[in-house]
Amino acid sequence: MVNRELEEPRPAVSQRALILLLLYFLNTLLVLDKIILSVLLEPIKAEFSLNDSQLGLLTGAAYALCLGVASIPFGIAVDRTNRRNLASACLAVWSGMTALCAMAPNYLVFLLARLGVGLGEAGGGPTSLSIISDLYEHKRRATAMAIFSLGSPTAALINLTLNTQIAHHFGWRGALIAAAVPGLLLALSIRLFTSEPERLNTRTQSAAEEAPPLKETLAFILSQRSLVWLLSGAAISYIVLAGVSSWNFSYIVRNFDVSLHEIGPYFGVAISAAGLIGTYLTGRVADYLGQKNEAWRCWVMALTTVGAISFGTVVFTTSSLTAAVLCTAGLATCATLWTAPGFALSQSLVRARMRGVTGSIIFLIANLIGYGLGPLLVGVFSDLYYATQGEDGLQFAILAVLSLDIIAVFCFLRAAGPLTEDLKRAQKI
């Protein structure tokens, strides 16, 4: 057993629960502001007369560019500054930029505002992972990360039910305003009602130890073979997740000749119900099996990714709308189930004052590589396939990107081999 963390006093259960709850809300808004354009693409395309490549740039690369540039500096700040204040400030910035998107008079202004959203969100994720890692020890960390990750299916529910209705009645600008206001209120709540948790370390590491230089942190991360394999699998998985999820609903609208206003609530309920249950159970199962054999944490990630491939194949080949809706729920759930054990492992595989940088690398991968390349790849492939496949071009493009998840499965399986040794090394045992 390698989870021999120092038995230091942690915050009271009620305080931990409050902080985790607020971080769950923060993650919900982080994901919501990231994915909200997926249900607004068609009206935005019509208003600004855009092609699919421009839409792919808007939903992916524009947002991810600024986030990617800012991720590492924010990660360094997480390891050195007050994380509560940082999380609150970042949330206020990206919510304000989402409101600015709603006011954009043209494509260029919208593009610039999405850069601002990416800048704010660059600090939200790494800060949250670092805080949660100090609230919960290794053996319970995947469960805590699962609760944090419930923000994804919650955001999907809001996006596909509430946001589609708001967009139908008040337009896409109204939907963006509705997504921005709660973030500003939550930023104030985090600042007023939470405190900075003590940084808890391993048995031989002083809690007061200074954060190492960035070069030393990066060298340690690269020396952890299981972490390198995990990050590689995460990169591929995020490309698939971002690419497929950004275009999934446009595909359904085009292929089945329906509107998101008509099917959005059904998608929202199906995806969110499966996601909420599946995400929490995956965290619990990973923690339970991980106490018997640490490799199970990686095996669970690989198995859920296989599920994403299977459900996705059905979604984009079936002629049944019902099957497409139900399997979209399975796809959306399985494509994100690996994140709870993955986030937890990434924090356990490094030392305490390296967690901010490690978290920033994960979110850099997710956004610069995943959301930067995924939607754009599908959009470009769709335009290319259109010459030979006509209206079926989008289907071929999505399936091509989905197939990349096979590589992610391989990476997660490889991460299991050196995992126990790397966990011991991170904890200086």
**Residue 205 pLDDT:** 47
Query: For 367-423, how does the pLDDT look when each residue is reduced to its tens digit (9 = 90+)?
Result: 778 877 888 888 888 888 777 766 677 888 899 999 999 999 999 999 999 999 999
Domain count within the chain: 1
- Contact of 179 with 33, CB cutoff 8 Å: yes
CA distance 280 to 294: 19
Query: Percentage of residues in the chain with pLDDT exceeding 90?
Result: 38
User: Which residue is it, tokens 């996705």?
Assistant: 312
> Of residues 250 and 318, which shows the higher confidence score?
318
What average pLDDT does the chain have? 86
CA distance 173 to 113: 13
CA distance 327 to 271: 9
399's CB contacts (< 8 A; 6+ apart) are 313, 316, 317
Query: For 265-309, how does the pLDDT look when each residue is reduced to its tens digit (9 = 90+)?
Result: 777 787 788 888 888 888 888 889 888 899 999 999 999 999 999
**Residue 60 pLDDT:** 66
Q: Is 427 helix (H, G, I), strand (E, B) or coil?
A: coil
Residue 63 lies in a domain: yes
- Binning pLDDT at 50, 70 and 90, where does residue 333 land? confident
CA distance 38 to 160: 9
Q: What is the DSSP letter of 9?
A: -
* pLDDT above 80 for 236: yes
User: Mean pLDDT lowest for which of 43-52, 177-186, 319-328?
Assistant: 43-52
* pLDDT above 80 for 329: yes
**Residue 95 pLDDT:** 95
Residue 5 lies in a domain: no
**Residue 115 pLDDT:** 86
Which two structure tokens, joined as six digits, stand for 195? 């405190």
Residue 2 lies in a domain: no
Please provide the DSSP assignment of 36-98 as one string.
Answer: GGGGTHHHHHHHHT--HHHHHIIIIIHHHHHHHHHHHHHHHHHTTS-HHHHHHHHHHHHHHHH
Residue 206 lies in a domain: no
Q: Report the first-to-last Cα separation within the chain, whole angstroms.
A: 11
Residue 6 lies in a domain: no
Query: Percentage of residues in the chain with pLDDT exceeding 70?
Result: 93
**Residue 11 pLDDT:** 60
CA distance 88 to 251: 36
> Of residues 301 and 46, which shows the higher confidence score?
301
Query: What are 5's strand-pairing partners?
Result: 202
- Binning pLDDT at 50, 70 and 90, where does residue 218 land? very high
- Contact of 183 with 92, CB cutoff 8 Å: yes
**Residue 260 pLDDT:** 67
Residue 365 lies in a domain: yes
Residue type, 273: A
Helix (H) or strand (E) segment spanning residue 149: helix 138-149
Helix (H) or strand (E) segment spanning residue 189: helix 164-193
Query: For 140-156, how does the pLDDT look when each residue is reduced to its tens digit (9 = 90+)?
Result: 888 899 999 899 889 98
Residue 341 lies in a domain: yes
CA distance 264 to 363: 28
Q: Is 295 helix (H, G, I), strand (E, B) or coil?
A: coil
User: Mean pLDDT lowest for which of 198-202, 213-217, 410-414?
Assistant: 198-202
Instruction: Tell me the mean pLDDT in the region 93-119.
Output: 91
Give the residue among 127, 129, 156, 130 at the shortest CA–CA distance from 33: 156
Query: Could you tell me the CA-to-CA distances from 151 to 64, 130, 410 in Å, in that order?
Result: 20, 17, 27
CB count within 10 Å of CB 298 equals 27
> Of residues 232 and 287, which shows the higher confidence score?
232
Which two structure tokens, joined as six digits, stand for 42? 């068609």
422's CB contacts (< 8 A; 6+ apart) are 224, 225, 226, 227, 349
- SS3 track for 212-267: CCHHHHHHHHHHCHHHHHHHHHHHHHHHHHHHHHHHHHHHHHHHHCCCHHHHHHHH
Range of the domain at 260: 13-200+211-426
User: Mean pLDDT lowest for which of 26-30, 122-126, 369-373, 390-394?
Assistant: 390-394
**Residue 7 pLDDT:** 46
Which two structure tokens, joined as six digits, stand for 377? 């790849």
User: Which residue is it, tokens 């089945």?
Assistant: 256
CATH value at residue 255: 1.20.1250.20
Residue 289 lies in a domain: yes
CB count within 10 Å of CB 343 equals 27
**Residue 206 pLDDT:** 44
